[in-house]
Amino acid sequence: MLRALAGTARDLGRLQEIGAVLLRYGFGDLVGRLGIILHWKDADQRAPLGGPQRARLALQELGPAFVKLGQILATRVDLFPPEWIAEFEKLQDQAPPAAAQEVRAQLVEDLGTAPEEAFAAFDPEPVAAGSIAQVHRARLADGTEVAVKVRRPGIVPVVEADLRLLARFAEILEARFPDLARFRPREVVRQFTRTLRTELDLAAECRNAERVAQNFREHPEIVVPAVYWAWTGERVNVQAFVDGTPSRDAEALEAAGLDRRVLAHRGAQAMLKMVLEDGFFHADPHPGNVFYLPGDRVAFIDFGMAGHLSERRRDELVQLLNGLVGRDADAVVDILLGWAGAARVDAEKVSLDVDAFIDRYHGLPLHELRMGAMLADMTALLREHQLALPPDLALVLKACVTLETYGRELDPQFDMVGEAAPFLQAATLERFGPARLAKRGWRAGRMLLEVLSDLPHDLRELLRSAKTGKLQVHVDLTSLHRFGVQLDGAANRLAVGIVTAAFIVGSAIVMTVEGGPTLLGLPFFGLLGFLGALVGGAWLLVSILRSGR
């Protein structure tokens, strides 16, 4: 089992570490069901804490990959209740700095020279350190203050080993924990793997930042740090240093003379534009990634985690939000059932619950509507019906909830619905505008022409397969197969029962016949027949008990 979990021998040591940490935080049952066999037991178990707290501490102790996994799980408000989300949100990626000598050696490799020579000034003490990278302050020859972000030396092999193990864990969880299958662990791990590998490439973060900066080129009130590509690569990037006021420091905001209402409005408008207009957004806008600058400007940093919404997904999101704000239950149900895909859902019950959910907000003035509370109630409804959002939309809903929370901290009268309304109206008009209709019509027409042009060839191939006997029709009847298995088991038990009865009757007859070999004074073949009947009867009894019928 260890090799099946680890995949390669080099992962076995890491597997032991993971098992020991899970055991220490009271997840011994999970360790056993995952098949992790520990060579030692850690007696210091910390089970008295609640489940969410233990999970967060275990992820924190397991290192960078698991800290990032916790941050991804914090976005899945559709899968976890609020107390779990609150604990996962505490994983803000804080870590002690890496060894200074290792960081310096790696910088020399990446920059081609010592950092003190590459920059006019370089501070060897990091101003911030996370699980993936740490940031140093430096100054260019022209006096520009920059932030030098350095990936932790030697982190890639550890992360890749953890990703291999997590992929295997996800497979086992879906197979052995039916109650956890609805969380789609394999899908979560796939999303997490893509996100983490992107974050390991510090140049990718800069490409994300430049893409967002390009989208805000006509909005000077939104600041994205400039990238200095001459010193940027996979393991290091250099961006303009943002020396602003933290988003949650109320006293500093007051001292800087910043207008909190304007800041709330501009931050909301920026995120809504990213999501609903551009389809490319900052997916982790926590307080450490948002700063406020003189002139009531809003600065976003750290684009390592970015979200992307396709045109189709944006249309679905607009329909959902319009349905919630406009109290259109049918529209909301259609979207939710579409996202459910092949999952078994009681559509009628979902419809009734959504209608009750919409009615709860009926008559409430728009300015009093709290989008965060509404989305929280909707995600609770999703959990109740074991529905899950697509991963990209989970990031959006989490960003919306976070955005409204920060907006109300800045301005108690902040109206998220009012901020979103113009974007929803514009997105709806664009969706049914001449340009979009023409685009969809052209796409549909092109697909129809392709089908019609291929039709003669496809028909000819179909007829040829039928003539040569290669045409096969496969009918997958899962329920019929299950019935066949049950029928086969019943037939086996019936056959064993008949043979057992024959043994008993035959042995009884043999017992009355004189002559032949004996054992303990009884006919040998009669005893042998009764022994066979005993074995058959025991097997039959165990089979019936195991079947549960």
| 423 and 543 together in one domain | no
Number of folded domains in the chain? 4
Same domain for 450 and 423, yes or no, is no
**153 vs 43, which has greater pLDDT?**
153
Q: Are residues 351 and 484 in the same domain?
A: no
More confident residue, 526 or 45: 526
Instruction: Return d(Cα 345, Cα 531) in angstroms, integer.
Output: 52
> Does the global pTM surpass 0.75?
no
Q: CB–CB of 291/371 below 8 Å?
A: no
- pLDDT by residue (tens digit) across 503-524? 777 777 767 766 667 766 667 7
Residue 399's pLDDT is: 75
Least confident of 19-33, 48-62, 211-225, 478-492: 478-492
Pairing state between β 280-282 and 236-240? unpaired
Tell me: pLDDT of 280 over 80: yes
Side-chain-side CA neighbours of residue 380 (13 Å): 11
Instruction: Give the residue-averaged pLDDT of 208-216.
Output: 94
Among 193-202, 309-318, 431-440, 441-450, whose mean pLDDT is lowest? 431-440
Instruction: Give the pLDDT mean for 216-223.
Output: 93
Domain membership flag for residue 7: no
Cα separation, 457 vs 460, in Å, equals: 5
According to the model, what pLDDT value does residue 474 have? 65
Mean predicted lDDT score pLDDT of the chain? 78
Q: Which residue has the tokens 């022994």?
A: 531
The DSSP result for 134-196, as a single string, is: EEEEEE-TTS-EEEEEEEPTTHHHHHHHHHHHHHHHHHHHHHH-GGGGGG-HHHHHHHHHHHH
3-class secondary-structure state, position 404: helix
Is residue 364 very low, low, confident or very high in pLDDT (cuts 50, 70, 90)? Answer: low
Q: Are residues 504 and 453 in the same domain?
A: no
Q: Is the pLDDT of residue 476 over 80?
A: no
Query: For residue 230, which phi and psi values (nearest 5 degrees)?
Result: -60, -25
Label residue 380 by pLDDT band (50, 70, 90).
Answer: confident
Q: Is the same domain home to 457 and 345?
A: no
Region 94-100: what's the mean pLDDT? Answer: 81
pLDDT at residue 72 greater than cutoff 80: no
Q: Do 428 and 492 fall into the same domain? A: no
Highest mean pLDDT among 52-56, 455-459, 474-478 belongs to 52-56
What does the pLDDT average to over 419-427?
77
pLDDT surpasses 70 at 288: yes
Whole-Å CA distances, 139 to 145, 292, 505: 5, 22, 99
Q: If you average pLDDT over residues 412-430, what whole number do you get?
A: 77
Q: Are residues 491 and 380 in the same domain?
A: no
Task: Single out the catalytic residue among 110, 284, 302, 415.
Answer: 284
Residues 337 and 224 in one domain: no
Confidence of residue 479 (pLDDT cuts 50, 70, 90): low
Supply the range of the domain harboring residue 452. Answer: 437-465
Considering the domain architecture, whether residues 529 and 453 belong to the same structural domain is answered as no
319 lies in the same domain as 404: yes
Examine the domain organization and report whether 484 and 447 are in the same domain. no
* Judgement on whether residues 104 and 237 belong to the same structural domain of the protein: yes
- Where among 212, 241, 270 does a domain terminate? 241
Q: What is the pLDDT of residue 149?
A: 95
- Cα–Cα distance, 92 to 108 (Å, whole number): 29
pLDDT, residue 26, reads: 78
Q: Is residue 48 part of a domain?
A: no
DSSP three-state, residue 137: strand
| 3-class secondary-structure state, position 297 | strand
Q: What is the pLDDT, as a whole number, of residue 2?
A: 44
Confidence of residue 1 (pLDDT cuts 50, 70, 90): very low
Residue 348: per-residue pLDDT: 78
Q: Tokens at residue 5, please? A: 């979990």
Indicate whether 9 pLDDT > 60.
no
Strand partners, 122: 138
The pLDDT > 70 percentage for the chain reads: 79
- Based on the residue annotation, tell me whether 476 is a catalytic residue of this protein: no
* List of residues 6+ apart from 375 with CB closer than 8 A: 77, 397, 400, 401
The answer as to whether 11 is a domain residue is no
Question: How many CA atoms lie within 13 Å of 525's alpha carbon, on the beta-carbon side?
Answer: 11
